[in-house]
Structure 1
Amino acid sequence: MQTTGHHTEAASEAAAVDPPHQRHSRRSWMWAMGLGVGVSAAAVLIGTYELTIGLAAIVLFPLLWAVLIGAVVGLQPWRPVTGPTRAVSELLIRVGIVVFLALLGTGIGPSLPDLVDIGPAIALQELGNAFGTVIIGIPVAVAMGMGRVAIGATWSANRESYLAYAIDKWGVRAPEYQGVFGVWLLGTVFGAAFISLIAGITGGLEIFDPRALALACGLGSASMMLGGAGSLTVLYPEMAGEIMALAAISNLVTNIVGFYMGVYVVLPFARWFYRVWVKILRKEETDARSIAADPVPVAEEGSARTKKPQDPPPPKTIAAWVAAFIFTGVAGLLINWQGTGELSLTGIIGITMVTGLSVLAFLLARVVRAVPASIWVLAMATLASAPFFPGSEFLVGMTENLDVLLVGLPQIALLGLSLGRDIDGLKRMSWKVVLIGFLTLASAYLAAAVVAQLVLPGV
């Protein structure tokens, strides 16, 4: 696409007449990559701060700064981020999160023997994660007169698999779906920052075992897990490796069994629990349209609903995927160098190895579509770095100087760019859905932490 400036690209996007092969221009790629690295570098320069408020602590560290700066960039009107740039960012985020999980897995493998005794706590905390949102959230949502929106909004932390299920089961007009969408949107935009704050505050209170708080970070979202675990590693630097390992394994368990538990166990319970509280509080059904966003334009309702151009889909060519993997590795090395002061051949080999595992994970996900790349890569990296696996010492040695929080920072920074795309949905969202959404995320974390605390050995 021929452009004479950023506004020319924005104007072309607004006209929605670009041919498909011009949708993702070189300029879009340069903006997405530059923003990812630039925002991450600024976040590392700002550094880490710990604010003590009473007994609690609020941890402000690079991940949180990256989300906030990215959000400002994504919303500023003077040089707006265009749809093609956000589309490229989406691919970079998808690839980068999987590479981040591969690197995280190399830190879990060596700790597997030490995690055997904690096994029951890893599994049982999922009960708190699953049921805590319903038990805490539904009475509040019903009291606020949210109607059946309450079921979807408090069903779970509502990540992508839940959103897809809700669309298929209820359709986009149903109040249950409105609730699911509200929590999904809030979690996508603010989840990493919100969970990092909750984890920092609860960790600063020193009521919970740090291991219980680490297990609670497994909410089914890589970015939320990274945010929560990142805060805890600042508060407990001597346990940083164990905290990251526990959070990652917990997240893996949530992704594997959490969805099925949510669909076949928690959802029926939520619907029954909702009816109980409707009777107790004598609340009538509420029209969902009065309290929830209208998130998905429906084509058949006329052109008035579809005039605003949508972001183009992420690039899908082999060249685009190769570029995304190269960017992820190079950007991760640069930010790791800035944060640790170390750039070596060992680190280059290490990032190449975890990138190779990520490529393999995406290929396996195409063959076995029921298992996403994030699950494949974390399992493979954990196994490949376990003490019993041949050659694991080499993999661990090549990656031990790569800081997982720094390597994954560019992708977290790019998440803020989505605000420009999602701001209309956020504006239409009722304050009731926003309040219950944050209550749901907090409930999932805190309930899981309580259950883990009760069953952890040695507590």
Structure 2
Amino acid sequence: MKKNSEKQEEKMGQSNFNSFLKLCLTVLVIVVITEMFGTKTFRLGPGRVVLLPMLFAVVIGMLITPDLLGSKMESLKKIISMDEVKMAGSYVMIALLPLGVKYGTLVGPNIVEVVKAGPAFLLQELGNLGTVFIALPLALFLGMEREAVGATASISREPTLGVIGEKYGISSPEGTGVLGTYLMGTVFGTIFFGLLGGYSAATGLHPLALAMASGMGSGSMMAAASGALAEAVPEMKDGILAYAATSNMLTGVTGLYSVIFLGLPLVNFLYDKLYPFFSKKNRGDK
């Protein structure tokens, strides 16, 4: 009996290793292909659309996941099965660890610039809390439950993904919410902010204020928004790009703490208050 158990464990371990190896090779191939595609940029009206390699990687990942495409794509299981898909979820947090270290190293070397930046830069991170007040009620209205907590605690970029994944687990409902919003931001974020950056110049707001707003914690989205804004106001191009880069750097430094100490407690507090109301409404209770 003991020998049978050991054989089963050995067989399971070998199977897990094979799945891990297939997963790593698949990811490597996707990375090579998408890096060959490179970044594609084109204009749309006054805005600029930026398609990053990460977007192509998401599309390829969806194409090789059979359960997302139905029974007609069963042959794709030869490339990657749901075993590898499930395994990938547990490795997301490991992959984010180097990124967390990178954000940590931003604090020390840049502390002087953070202080010199002034209160406007330091307080601009509070704008991310608007997602709680606006997006949380909408998410609950649409029928989401604890997924809404992860999806609306912030803009759902890498720092938020790390915080939610560490606190609740990436496979939890909260983890599903933040990961879903993260992927939507990857697919549509650069397009949205590229257009928004170009069109925002017509609002009459100061271009440097709009440049600061471009630094929302995502390098790709910041580049798309500030690049389009700089083209719309070419006489202030250098200032716009400098303000956007500084704002984005500060968001990387302060965004993590904003999510931990402000965003997450606030979204949980509002969720407890609003969920009973929306739950009854979605069930049709009076």
The one-letter code of the counterpart of 2:217 is G
What is the aligned partner in structure 2 of residue 119 from structure 1? Answer: 118
Counterpart of 1:240 in 2: which secondary structure?
helix
Distance 2:142 2:192 in 1: 23
List structure 1 segments (4+ residues) > 6 angstroms apart after TM superposition. Answer: 16-20, 26-30
Compute the displacement of 1:277 (Å): 2.2
Distance 1:277 1:248 in 2: 37
Determine if the alignment matches structure 1 residue 219 to structure 2 residue 224.
Answer: no
Identity across aligned pairs (percent)?
33
The one-letter code of the counterpart of 1:168 is E
Determine if the alignment matches structure 1 residue 234 to structure 2 residue 234.
Answer: no
Higher relative contact order (CA 8 A, sep 6+): 1
The one-letter code of the counterpart of 2:181 is V
Compute the displacement of 1:135 (Å): 1.1
Please report the TM-score for the alignment, with normalisation by the length of structure 2: 0.63
What is the aligned partner in structure 1 of residue 130 from structure 2? Answer: 132
Query: Where do residues 100-179 of structure 1 align in structure 2 (5 Å cutoff)?
Result: 119-129=118-128, 131-179=129-177
Compute the displacement of 1:150 (Å): 1.4
Conserved in 1, the CA contact under 8 Å of 2:150 and 2:178? Answer: yes
Distance 1:180 1:141 in 2: 12
Query: Where do residues 255-404 of structure 1 align in structure 2 (5 Å cutoff)?
Result: 255-279=252-276, 281-284=277-280
Q: Deviations over 1:306-345 (max 9, x none)?
A: xxxxxxxxxxxxxxxxxxxxxxxxxxxxxxxxxxxxxxxx
Deviates more, 1:166-175 or 1:237-246: 166-175
Determine if the alignment matches structure 1 residue 195 to structure 2 residue 193.
Answer: yes
Distance 2:43 2:161 in 1: 35
Distance 1:151 1:161 in 2: 15
Conserved in 2, the CA contact under 8 Å of 1:67 and 1:193? Answer: no
Distance 1:232 1:214 in 2: 8
Distance 2:251 2:242 in 1: 14
Counterpart of 2:204 in 1: which secondary structure?
coil
Counterpart of 1:283 in 2: which secondary structure?
helix
The one-letter code of the counterpart of 2:127 is G
What is the aligned partner in structure 2 of residue 184 from structure 1? Answer: 182
Distance 2:145 2:29 in 1: 46
Query: Where do residues 35-54 of structure 1 align in structure 2 (5 Å cutoff)?
Result: 35-36=37-38, 40=40, 43=41, 49=43, 51=45
Compute the displacement of 1:262 (Å): 0.9
How many residue pairs align between the two structures? Answer: 219
The one-letter code of the counterpart of 1:122 is F
Compute the displacement of 1:72 (Å): 10
CA RMSD, 1 decimal: 4.0
Counterpart of 2:154 in 1: which secondary structure?
coil
Please report the TM-score for the alignment, with normalisation by the length of structure 1: 0.41
- Return 5+ residue gaps in structure 1 as ranges: 1-15, 52-57, 84-93, 99-111, 287-459
What is the aligned partner in structure 1 of residue 73 from structure 2? Answer: none
